[in-house]
């Protein structure tokens, strides 16, 4: 009887672990502004439309040395006020993890650029990554992205978050691997113990 309860406990533990790992594997990396990057020429007002940002997702900002990324409070967003930022980034390649639900606000540190449209509001949903609705635009396509309007970009390009391996996204391959481990591990333990 005790042997059966141990096996059941291990099986349930594997299922819970598999669910947690699978949810984490579903996180999406979004390249802000797509191929134009974080730039004054990007249509940042419409860029987030049709995208679902979830806890665990990542925003990638690519920009030249004439730009920066300031995360600001809602009150400072519309006025492009950067005197009291939450965080400041100036390195040309900024990765921001969306770690909690709610609205996030980003502006260029150059106030004139901000007033010209270099600002982004992102609504982060829920407690974990969730798939985008059917027909919604996804993160940037696979391959090397080169921002089209940059002449002084410190990065030469960034690989997409979802490279295709054998016609399937890396995310799909990782899910199969996790499922394989989660569902075969209890069977292996069963055969070892019997």
Residues paired with 164 in a beta bridge:
169
Residue 37 in any domain: the answer is yes
Cα–Cα distance for residue pair 124/144, rounded to 1 Å: 26
Residue reference for tokens 């995208």: 51
Kindly report, residue by residue over 25-55, the tens digit of the pLDDT: 568 999 999 999 999 999 999 999 999 999 9
Cα–Cα distance for residue pair 41/49, rounded to 1 Å: 17
Cα–Cα distance for residue pair 105/114, rounded to 1 Å: 12
Domains in the chain, number: 1
Q: What is the pTM of this model?
A: 0.57
Q: What is the mean pLDDT of residues 1-29?
A: 62
Question: Which residues neighbour 165 within 8 Å (Cβ) at sequence distance 6 or greater?
Answer: 173
Is a pLDDT exceeding 70 seen at residue 190? no
Residue 98 in any domain: the answer is yes
- The enclosing domain of 75 has a CATH number of 2.60.40.420
Residue 31 in any domain: the answer is yes
Residue 13 in any domain: the answer is no
| SS3 category, 133 | coil
Kindly report, residue by residue over 50-102, the tens digit of the pLDDT: 999 999 999 999 999 999 999 999 999 999 999 999 999 999 999 999 999 99
Q: In the numeric block, which tokens belong to residue 16? A: 């819970």
Q: What is the pLDDT of residue 106?
A: 97
Residue 62 in any domain: the answer is yes
Please give the C-alpha separations between residue 140 and each of 32, 44, 60, 87, 137, in angstroms, as whole numbers: 9, 14, 10, 25, 9
Residue 57 in any domain: the answer is yes
Kindly report, residue by residue over 95-143, the tens digit of the pLDDT: 999 999 999 999 999 999 999 999 999 999 986 444 544 444 444 444 4
Q: What is the pLDDT of residue 102?
A: 95
Strands 29-31 and 87-89: unpaired
Strands 144-145 and 158-159: antiparallel
Residues paired with 145 in a beta bridge:
158
Residue 61 in any domain: the answer is yes
Cα–Cα distance for residue pair 18/23, rounded to 1 Å: 8
Residue 48 in any domain: the answer is yes
Q: What is the pLDDT of residue 178?
A: 56
Residue range of the domain that includes 97: 24-125
């Amino acid at each position: 009887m005790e042997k059966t309860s141990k096996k059941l406990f291990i099986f349930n533990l594997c299922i819970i672990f598999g669910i947690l790992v699978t949810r984490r594997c579903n996180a999406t990396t979004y390249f802000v502004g797509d191929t134009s990057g974080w730039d004054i020429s990007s249509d940042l007002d419409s860029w987030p439309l049709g995208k679902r940002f979830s806890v665990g997702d990542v925003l990638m900002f690519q920009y030249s040395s004439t730009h920066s990324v300031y995360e600001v409070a809602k009150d400072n967003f519309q006025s492009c006020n950067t005197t009291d930022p939450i965080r400041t980034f100036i390195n040309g390649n900024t990765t921001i993890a969306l770690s909690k639900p709610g609205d996030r606000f980003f502006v260029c540190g150059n106030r004139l650029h901000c007033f010209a449209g270099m600002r982004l509001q992102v609504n982060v949903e829920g407690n974990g990554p969730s798939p985008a609705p059917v027909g919604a635009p996804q993160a940037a396509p696979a391959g090397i992205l080169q921002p089209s309007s940059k002449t002084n970009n410190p990065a030469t390009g960034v690989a997409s978050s979802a490279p295709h391996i054998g016609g399937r996204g890396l995310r799909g391959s990782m899910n199969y691997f996790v499922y394989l481990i989660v569902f075969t591990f209890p069977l292996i333990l069963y055969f070892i113990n019997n």
